[in-house]
Structure 1
Amino acid sequence: MSYKVMIVDDAAMMRLYISSFLKSLPEFNMVAQAANGQEALDKLLDYPDLDLILLDIEMPVMDGLEFLRHAKLKTRAKICMLSSVTVQGSPHAAKARELGADGVVAKPSGTVSHDLEEKTGDELRDTMRRLVAA
């Protein structure tokens, strides 16, 4: 089984780190990327069979929380917040869950976390697998 993933993050380097991480997980296939929530919403029309969206919060044009408000009406894909501001118990994490985020994982070292795989890789992988299995 191959699960289709969209990465939504305004930092091009972070999108690169996440897509590199996904390449180590053969069951996940990155099929789309977006630099903000509006661009991601527009792409939902082109990818109606997405399984998972990895979503940052702090982005220009439309942030991740606003995207969540709209996306839950337009896609069946599971949405996992992946942001430097979604630390366990934070107001941003709570708001994301309230708006329908299926999972919340914090970036380990800020907006562009080059150490994503080594510091948060296990948690992110386990969360992604749990979400698509649900």
Structure 2
Amino acid sequence: MEHKVLVVDDSVMMRTVIRSFVSKMPEFKAVAFAENGKKALEELDNHKDLSLILLDIEMPEMDGLEFLRYAKLKSKAKIVILSSVALSGSPYAAKARELGADAIVTKPSGAVSLDLVDKRGDELAGVMRRLVGLG
């Protein structure tokens, strides 16, 4: 079974990095992309069968935390916060958990972390697999 993924990040570079990462995992397929929470809510209407949402926090128009408030009502997809501001113990991380985030993986070097796969790839892959019940 292929698990469908929505990638939400305001950086084109990060969406590209994440898409490439997901494409190398045969059990997942990135099927939708959004540059902010508002666009991501539209994608939830277009993709009712998502398994996973990879979500940045800091974005224009509607940030990841505001999106989380609505996403949990509209989708059964598991949500992984993928952000440089949601460090363990931070107010962002606490708020994300409170709003229903299923996991948090921090970007290693800021909002645009081109080293994401090298530094956090194994962690992210493990979290993704665990949340969809693959170990």
Please state which band the TM-score falls in when normalised by the shorter chain.
Answer: over 0.9
Query: How well do the aligned residues superpose, as a CA RMSD in angstroms?
Result: 0.9
* Letter of the 1:131 counterpart: L
2:8 is the counterpart of 1:4: no
- Cα separation, 2, equivalents of 1:71 and 1:126: 23
- Cα separation, 2, equivalents of 1:121 and 1:103: 14
Deviation at 1:64, TM superposition (A): 0.1
After superposition, residues 73-112 of structure 1 pair within 5 angstroms as 73-112=73-112
After superposition, residues 24-43 of structure 1 pair within 5 angstroms as 24-43=24-43
SS at 1:127's partner residue? Answer: helix
After superposition, residues 49-60 of structure 1 pair within 5 angstroms as 49-60=49-60
Deviation string for 1:72-121 (max 9, x for gaps)?
00000000000000111211111100000001000011011100111000
Give the match for residue 19 of structure 1.
Answer: 19
Point out where structure 1 has 5 or more consecutive residues left out of the alignment. none
Give the match for residue 72 of structure 1.
Answer: 72
Deviation at 1:128, TM superposition (A): 0.5
SS at 2:74's partner residue? Answer: coil
- Cα separation, 1, equivalents of 2:28 and 2:41: 21
SS at 1:73's partner residue? Answer: helix
Point out where structure 2 has 5 or more consecutive residues left out of the alignment. none
Identity of aligned residues (%): 63
Q: TM-score, normalised by structure 1?
A: 0.98
SS at 2:46's partner residue? Answer: coil
Which ranges of 4 or more aligned residues in structure 1 deviate by more than 3 Å?
none
Give the match for residue 113 of structure 1.
Answer: 113
